[in-house]
Amino acid sequence: MRVALFLTCVNDTLYPDTGRAVVKLLTRLGVDVDFPMAQTCCGQAHYNTGYRHEAEPLARHFSDVFGEYEAIVTPSGSCGSMVRELYPRMGERARAEGRGDTLAATLAPVVPKTYELTEFLVDVLGVTDVGAYYPHTVTYHPTCHGLRGLGLGDRPRRLLQAVKGLELAELPGADECCGFGGTFALKNSDVSAAMGTDKVRNAESTGAEVLCAADNSCLMHIGGTMTRLRTGMRPVHIAEILASTEEEPAV
């Protein structure tokens, strides 16, 4: 299977460790991973801030870069839901604006082939035990776009539960938004910070060392709040936990 890694612009620039972890994990599971160098950004920030027309060229670019692959895997619930949920909607809107079916036709091929990482592992590869080892107490935050957009359900938790040495602590108010929301964190920073603080306090109450999620954007917001509140907890992307093994443990 020719699988392309869509790392997302945020991960590529700020969280390369997540990318390395995905490559390590998928390679270990026998998947042939490619990283198309021309990839950039899915256009989510543009789209969600109201710049749909600026997002369109990015979506086209995404389709050009990834269209040939059998599967596209991304370690981001929100970018995954951008492709799966919002690309079809962009096509519909273009049609409603009298621009024909071209955009919809361009974007259609990538939509069903795009998987968030945990979905790909559970649904496509059919594994929940990926042979990982991570001797820490972890609490899991299901991010909004993964939870409600993609409907990841309990896939991430099943994967975590199968990790050797890992103790899973239930997060109170788990399905409440952490307050990141892209440009929301800038435009409504007071409300965003209040939401982030509550999320971190809930995480702290579990006694876990690590808060894990399947999206580094949310983890950036939560992690930034954690260090500011001096909690001593760490944000870790789920890919890094799943990639960790006894031979090569993640810290």
Question: Least distance to other proteins from the beta carbon of 56, Å?
Answer: 9
In this complex, which beta carbon is closest to other proteins, that of residue 166 or of residue 217?
Answer: 217
CA angle 35/37/42 to nearest 5° reads 85
**171 near 143, Cβ under 8 Å?**
no
Which residue number, 156 or 196, has a Cβ lying nearer to other proteins?
Answer: 196
For other proteins, give the closer residue by CB, 149 or 156: 149
User: Smallest distance, Å, CB 191 to other proteins?
Assistant: 5
Here the tokens at position 234 are: 């760490």
Nearest to other proteins of 135, 151 (CB atom)? 151
Least separation in angstroms between CB 25 and other proteins: 12
Give the nearer residue to other proteins in terms of CB position, either 33 or 168: 33
As measured in angstroms, the least distance from the Cβ of 38 to other proteins is 5
Q: 119: closest CA among 86, 150, 92? A: 150
Tokens 């895997």 appear where? 73
The residues near 51 (Cβ < 8 Å, ≥ 6 apart) are none
Minimum CB–partner distance for residue 14 and other proteins (Å): 5
**Per-position b or e across 175-185, b if 16+ CB within 10 A of its CB:** eebbbbbbebb
